[in-house]
Amino acid sequence: MEILNFTEEHNQFRDRLKDFLVEEVTPFGDQWEEDKIVPKSVWQKMGQGGFLCTDVAAEYGGMGGDFLYSLIVAEEMTKTWITGLATPLHSDIVVPYISSFGSEKLKQKYLPGCVSGDIVTAVAMTEPGAGSDLASIATTAVEEEDEVVIDGSKTFISNGLNADLVVVAAKDPAVENPYEALSLYVVDSQTPGFSTGRHLEKMGMWSQDTAELFFSKCCIPKKNRLGEKGMGFLMLMDKLQQERLMCAIMAVTGAERILEWITDYCKQTSVSGKPLARSQVVQFALVEMTTDVKLGRTYVEKLIADHMEKKEIIADTSMAKYWTTEMLNRLANRALDLCGDFAMSEKCPIVRAWRDAKIMTIFAGTNEIMKNIAAKFMGL
C-alpha cells in the first residue's frame, strides 16, 4: 500500500516540472557552478511556470496546493544535482513565515512577487557568534514609535545575494530573557542601512549564493514585524518542523539519485573484462546502499503523511533530518569509492554530489542539535 496518494493533477504537475527542468535548468548547471550563482531570470521562469510557493492561496497569486506539490518540487529539483536554485528554501521555508504570520497588508504586498519569482527570499538567523543557538543572537531590533531600527550582522545566508526580501531574527536588547526578546521582521533589500557582504566561498553547493548580511541603523516600518513582538522564537520553532522535513526529503532524494547513477555505472563499467556489478563486493555494497535508501524513503513518507495531517512530529523530523543526511553522506562516500580512478575527475557527477552533501548535516540545525532535541522529547 502506498503511503502517499498522488492525484492525476499531481502527476501532471510533476511532468510539467520535469520538462521545464530539462529545458531551463539542467543544461546550465555547470555554468552556474562556475559563476557561483544562479541568474534571477531563472527564478522568474520558475514562477511563470507555477513552480514556486505552490501552497500560497489563489488570492495572492498562488495555486493553493497541498504539501505534495512542495514534495514534488523538492524531489525533482534535487534530482538535477543543481543546488543553486534553492526553490524549497524560498517556497517552503521562508515564505511560510510571511503567509502564516504576516499581516494582511504584508501578504498582499509580498506574496504575489514571491509566487511569480520577482521576489527571492532568504531567512537570516545565523550569526558569526551564534550558529544553531538562537538564544545567542546578537542582532538588535529597537522599536521606536512606528519604526524599528535593526543593527547587527548575519552570515552563511543562503540566497543572500539574490534575495529581495529577508526574514530577519533580531532581539530587543531591553528584554532579559533571550527567548522572549526575539522577534521576526521582513526587510526589503533596498532598505537604507541594509547591505550585502562577501559572497562566501564554500566546499560545496557552489552555485548557491551564500553571503553575509549587515544591518546598520536599518530602519523599517513596525508593520514589517511578523506576528506579535517577542514571539519570534515560537514562530521559528513552529516552522522548523517543515524545514527539517524538507531537508530529509532532499537527503533521501539525493541518496536515491546517487544510488541510481552508481548502479548504472557499476553495470556499464568493466574491470578485467567483467562488469563491476558482477563482483560480490560491489553487489554487497549496492544492496546495503539500496536498503538504506528504502528505509529512509519509507520513514520520510510516513512523516510527510503525518505533517499533512497537522501532527506535531518535531522529534521525528529532527531524527529524520539527522539520519537521512548522515545516510546521504555515507552513500556519497561509498559511491565515490566504487568510482575508482574516475572519482578524481570533476566529470564524475558523484564528486559534486559528495561535496554538496556535507552541508546538509549542518544547516537547519546541526545533527548534534537534532539529537539533543530528540533526546529531550524522549525524556532523557
CATH of the domain at 29: 1.10.540.10
Determine the residue type at 308. Answer: M
Query: Which residues form the domain of 19?
Result: 8-119
On whether residue 194 sits in a domain, the answer given is: yes
Q: Are residues 94 and 134 in the same domain?
A: no
For residue 314, the 8-state DSSP code is: H
**Residue 37 domain flag:** yes
Rounded Cα distance between 149 and 366, Å, is 30
Residue 92 CB contacts under 8 Å (≥ 6 apart), including other chains: 55, 70, 74, 242, 243, 246
Residues facing residue 211 across a β-bridge: 157, 199
- Whether residues 159 and 218 share a domain: the answer is yes
Residue 332 lies in a domain: yes
In Å, how far from its chain's centre is CA 311? Answer: 21
Q: Are residue 222 and residue 244 in the same domain, yes or no?
A: no
Cβ–Cβ < 8 Å for 261, 350: yes
147 given a catalytic annotation: no
Letter string b/e over residues 104-125, b meaning 16 or more CB atoms within 10 A of that residue's CB? eebbebbbbbbbbbebbbbbbb
For the chain, how many structural domains are there in total?
3
- Residue 131, in any domain of the structure: yes
Pair 39, 114 in one domain: yes
Shared-domain flag, residues 368 and 251? yes
Does some domain include residue 3? no
Residue 168 inside a domain? The answer is yes
- Judgement on whether residues 81 and 127 belong to the same structural domain of the protein: no
CA-to-CA separations, 89 to 147, 205, 208, in angstroms, rounded: 28, 14, 11
3-state DSSP assignment of residue 50: coil
With respect to residue 2, please indicate whether it lies within any of the assigned structural domains: no
pLDDT of residue 131: 67
Question: In the numeric block, which cell numbers belong to residue 102?
Answer: 504576516
- Are the C-beta atoms of 179 and 172 separated by less than 8 Å? no
End of a domain among 98, 119, 140? 119
Could you tell me if 283 and 240 lie in one domain? Answer: yes
Cell 544547516 belongs to 363
Question: Domain holding 170: CATH number?
Answer: 2.40.110.10
Q: What is the pTM of this model?
A: 0.94
Note whether 62 and 101 are same-domain residues. yes
Residue at 1 is within a domain: no
Pairing assessment for the beta strands 194-199 and 210-221 based on DSSP bridges: antiparallel
DSSP 261: H
125: CB partners within 8 A, 6+ apart: 134, 137, 154, 169, 236
175: exposed, middle or buried (C-beta count within 10 Å: 0-12, 13-18, 19+)? middle
> For each of the chain's 380 residues, which pLDDT tens digit applies?
689 999 999 999 999 999 999 999 999 999 999 999 999 999 999 999 999 999 999 999 999 999 999 999 999 999 999 999 999 999 999 999 999 999 999 999 999 999 999 999 999 999 987 766 777 899 999 988 899 999 999 999 999 999 999 999 999 999 989 889 999 999 999 999 999 998 999 999 999 999 999 999 999 999 999 999 999 999 988 898 999 999 999 999 999 999 999 999 999 999 888 999 999 999 999 999 999 999 999 999 999 999 999 999 999 999 999 999 999 999 999 999 999 999 898 899 999 999 999 999 998 889 999 999 999 999 99
Q: Same structural domain for residues 213 and 162?
A: yes
Which run of H or E residues covers position 275?
Answer: strand 274-275
Pair (251, 300) in one structural domain: yes
Residues 190 and 244 grouped into a single domain: no
In this structure, what is the dihedral angle of CA atoms 220, 155, 229, 317, given to the nearest 10 degrees? 140
| Active-site residue (options: 33, 75, 243, 256) | 243
Angle formed by the axes of helices 232-268 and 67-79, nearest 10°: 40
Q: Select from 27, 20, 117, 30 the least CA-distant residue to 76.
A: 20
